[in-house]
Amino acid sequence: MIITRGLIKKYGRVMALQGLDLEVPEGSVYGFIGQNGAGKTTTLRILAGLLIPEEGRAEVAGRDVLRDPRGIREVVGYMPDFFGVYDDLRVGEYLLFYAAAYGIRGEVARKLRDDLLELVELGHKRDAFVDTLSRGMQQRLCLARSLIHDPQVLLLDEPASGLDPLARVEMREILRELCRMGKTIIISSHILSELADLCTHVGMIREGRLLRQGPLSDMLAGDRVRKFILRCNGPVEAAVAIIEGWPGAGILSKAVNQVEFRLSGDPGDIAALLREIVGSEAQVVHFAQTEQSLEDTFIQLAREVNGA
C-alpha cells in the first residue's frame, strides 16, 4: 500500500532522511517508531504530499507523490502532530468546512458529519464551539476531519501526544475501529508501549535511516537478545560480577537484591550462566525471562547501531 525507496530529505545541512525504504502492507496498522528528530514527521509530510524529497521515490496506494499530488490527496488522510482549529467555528461547521474543501456538499456532507461525529464520540458536541473542546476531543475531531473524504490511508503523526490516559484509551479504541474498517494506518510515536497494543507492523527509524521493519510479532520474538530478572536473598553483588564477565551479557538495572540483565545466546548459554550464579555466594530465590517489549527492541537496535 505504501512504498518508499531511497528517500532523502535535507533541511539546510541537516539530513532528515538518508535513503529511507519503507513498506507498509495494505490493511496494516504500522507503528513508525523513532526518537524526536529521527525523521518520522518528515516522512509523513512527504507521504501526505506536503514536502518534496531531494531524492527517492514514494508511492501511496499506487500513486506517486512526486507525479500525482492530486491523487495523493484523494487517498490520504493526514493528521499532523501539532494542529490548530478555527476557534470561531462550531464542531459541525468545522467538519462541513473541510467536507466542502474536499468537494463534498449538501445532504451527503451533513450525513457524513453526523456519522463521523458519532464515530469519534462527539455527536453531543455538534453545536459547541471548537475552542471549548478539551485537547482529547480536539484530537478526535481532527481525526474525524482526516476521515471526511473516506481515505484508504491514514497518516497520524503522534495522535496521542498531550492526551491524558483516558483520552489515550478512547483514541486507541477509535483507531481499532478504523483498523476493522480496513484502513491502512501509519502512526508515528515515541511512546512505544501504546503502539505495541495497536500495531500489526512496526518500523524503527533513527537519524533518517530505517533500522528494522516487519510484523510486530517477528520484531519481538525474533530477537536473539533476551531480558532476565534475578532476585537474591541478600546482596546481588556476586551474581552481578558473574553477569558482567559473561560473554554477551549486560546489566540493565540493579537494586540491592535484584538485577535485570540482557543476554544473547541459546538456551544452553542461559542454563550455563544460571548454573554459575547458583554455584556462587549469591542466594538465588527468583530467576525469570521477562517479556521483550518494543521499547527494549528499539533500545537494543539503537545500541547496535551506535556500537557499529
Return residues touching other proteins (CB under 8 A).
6, 45, 48-57, 66-67, 69-70, 73-74, 76, 78, 80, 82-86, 88-89, 93, 97-98, 100-103, 142, 145, 149
Q: 151 or 203, CB closer to other proteins?
A: 151
Q: 102 or 287, CB closer to other proteins?
A: 102
> What's the closest the beta carbon of residue 97 comes to other proteins, in angstroms?
5
Instruction: With beta carbons less than 8 A apart as the criterion, state whether 120 and 176 touch.
Output: no
Q: 39 or 49, CB closer to other proteins?
A: 49
Q: 65 or 202, CB closer to other proteins?
A: 65
Burial class (CB in 10 A: 0-12, 13-18, 19+), 151: buried
Chain centre to alpha carbon of residue 111: 32
Q: Which residues have a Cβ under 8 Å from the Cβ of 22 and sit 6 or more positions away? A: 2, 3, 4, 7, 43, 203, 210, 213
Q: 145 or 262, CB closer to other proteins?
A: 145
Q: 4 or 300, CB closer to other proteins?
A: 4
Instruction: With beta carbons less than 8 A apart as the criterion, state whether 123 and 141 touch.
Output: no
> What's the closest the beta carbon of residue 122 comes to other proteins, in angstroms?
17
Q: How many CB atoms lie within 10 A of CB 45?
A: 18
Residue 256: what are its φ and ψ, rounded to 5°? -60, -50
> What's the closest the beta carbon of residue 142 comes to other proteins, in angstroms?
8
At 263, is the secondary structure helix, strand, or coil? strand
> What's the closest the beta carbon of residue 101 comes to other proteins, in angstroms?
4
Cα–Cα distance between 1 and 25 in angstroms, integer?
5
Which amino acid appears at position 132 of this protein? T
> What's the closest the beta carbon of residue 231 comes to other proteins, in angstroms?
50
> What's the closest the beta carbon of residue 105 comes to other proteins, in angstroms?
8
